């Protein structure tokens, strides 16, 4: 199943597939990848923030 995203004033139309990839019966969706990357970036930011406040 694909979704069509349109920008009418620009004349651009893009078809987006919500499934990033599949391994057997296991399906990975794009929103899951985006949420995972956001979580990883938040954890990395938290670690770097803790290192800055450690010596103050």
pLDDT of residue 44: 95
pLDDT of residue 50: 84
Q: What are the Cα distances from residue 29, in Å, to 2, 5, 25, 37, 45?
A: 12, 17, 13, 13, 25
pLDDT confidence bin for 54, thresholds 50/70/90: low
User: What is the count of structural domains for the chain?
Assistant: 1
pLDDT of residue 2: 86
**Cβ pair 18, 30 in contact under 8 A:** yes
**Cβ pair 19, 27 in contact under 8 A:** yes
Question: What CA–CA distance (Å, rounded) separates 14 from 35?
Answer: 22
Domain encompassing residue 19 = 3-54
């Amino acid at each position: 199943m694909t979704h069509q995203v349109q920008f009418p004033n620009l004349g651009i139309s893009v078809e987006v597939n919500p499934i990033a990839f599949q391994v057997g019966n296991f399906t990975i969706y794009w929103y899951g990848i985006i949420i995972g990357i956001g979580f990883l970036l938040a954890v990395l930011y938290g670690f770097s923030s803790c290192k800055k406040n450690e010596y103050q």
